[in-house]
Amino acid sequence: MKKIVVTGGAGFIGSAFIRHQLKTYPEIHVVNFDKLTYAGNLDNVKECDLGRYTFVQGDIADRGAIQSAMEGCDAIVNFAADTHVDRSIMGATDFISTNCTGVYNICEAARELKTQRVLLVSTDEVYGSIREGSFKETDPPQPRNPYSASKAGGELIALAHFETFGTPIVITRGSNTYGPYQYPEKVMPLFITNLIDGEQVPLYQGGEHNVRDWLWVYDHASGIDTALRKGELGQIYNVAGGNERENIVLTHKLLSGCGRDESFIRLVKDRPGHDFRYSIDASKLRGLGWTPTMDWDQGVSETVDWYKNNEWWWRKIKSGEFLEYYRKQYEER
């Protein structure tokens, strides 16, 4: 592959994937196509090699814009998505537009342009909750909130496109991802930045013992790359960190890393339909040669240190719209 389009490349995982591509493949040129919504941030890709990197602002819900950006590319990797569960509960229209209509537009453009590979980045949340064991790719989606339902819908659109038109679709479903440059509405950066500022962290009451599997962002990027280059068309690949932790365990880990005690925990009303446990089996992707490399304790420590050392990045984010959303989401509970 000489040229790939990365949609949503100014976001958290998308920007990590771009950095991974430019570092790993000296011959590749990356086109970053991003709408620059609230979570899109060009600071995330400021270090990219401008000689092999192009930025195009646009929306995957705009068929003409995405097709124009895809002209001459060998592959497209779609990270563009509305992703935050709480925001989807407050209103899901944008989620459906991006996660369903946007995926359809990418598939249609790929069919017309005869793009060699289309990889859709999805989430383990499409499976729903599981008490014991781990979901495999053959398990049916059972989404339990508007966000995960819209992601499952986009997957079905893409897989139907593969079956009907032979569009070269590959899908990845990743577990909870963490690391540098994550927008601070997500739990790790929200908690870390709150604790740095001496503020309490809003832990869902009833969700303290919910379980998530944590995946280092660069391990996620390499897993997506493995599926892109080695995955079978029409197939789904789980990307799992293998680091299942209760939310309360994560919270204590972040308290310790920031030098705070339990008085900084504030229990808030649980979200509707809160999934108890996510767990996915990544043996299929491991069979292609991928394996995660980051130890969880080390990864969390590095993440805490990154936010401590990069206040320039997050302080300008945690103002304005973010503070208003934060107030509505947590302070009123």
253-308 residue pLDDT tens: 999 999 999 999 999 987 777 778 999 999 999 999 999 999 999 999 999 999 99
Q: How far is CA 274 from the centre of its chain?
A: 18
Residue 124 is a catalytic residue: yes
Report the pLDDT value the prediction gives residue 269, as an integer from 0 to 100.
Answer: 86
What confidence score (pLDDT) does residue 321 get? Answer: 65
Report which DSSP code applies to 151: H
Indicate the CATH number of 179-212+243-275+295-331 among 3.90.1580.10, 3.40.50.300, 3.90.25.10, 3.40.1410.10: 3.90.25.10
Angstrom distance (rounded) from CA 85 to CA 98: 14
For residue range 40-80, list pLDDT tens digits in order.
Answer: 999 999 989 779 999 999 999 999 999 999 999 999 999 98
Which part of the chain has CATH 3.90.25.10?
179-212+243-275+295-331
Domain 3-177+215-239, CATH: 3.40.50.720
What is the pLDDT at residue 333? 46
Give the tokens for residue 1. 């592959």
| Regions in the chain scoring below 70 on pLDDT | 83-86, 320-333
Q: Which of 34, 82, 124, 185 does the annotation list as catalytic?
A: 124
* Beta bridge partners of residue 171, listed in sequence order: 120, 236
Contacts (Cβ under 8 Å, ≥6 apart) of 280: 124, 127, 134, 135, 136, 173, 175, 213, 238, 240
H helices of the chain, in order, are 12-24, 63-70, 85-90, 93-96, 102-113, 146-165, 187-196, 217-230, 247-257, 283-286, 296-309, 311-314, 321-326
The per-residue pLDDT of the chain, averaged, comes to: 93
d(CA 198, CA 259): 10
Please confirm, yes or no, whether 125 is among the known catalytic residues.
Answer: yes
Q: Which residue is associated with the tokens 């005690």? A: 261
Instruction: Cite the residue boundaries of each domain of the chain with CATH code 3.40.50.720.
Output: 3-177+215-239
Residues 6+ apart with CB under 8 A from 222: 20, 290, 293
pTM as predicted:
0.93
Catalytic residue among 53, 147, 218, 237: 147
CB count in 10 Å sphere of residue 70: 24
CB–CB of 214/124 below 8 Å? no
Token pair 């310790």 in the structure block, residue: 256
CA gyration radius, the chain: 19
Q: Measure the CA–CA gap between 333 and 329, rounded to whole angstroms.
A: 7
| Residue in 59, 125, 213, 275 annotated catalytic | 125
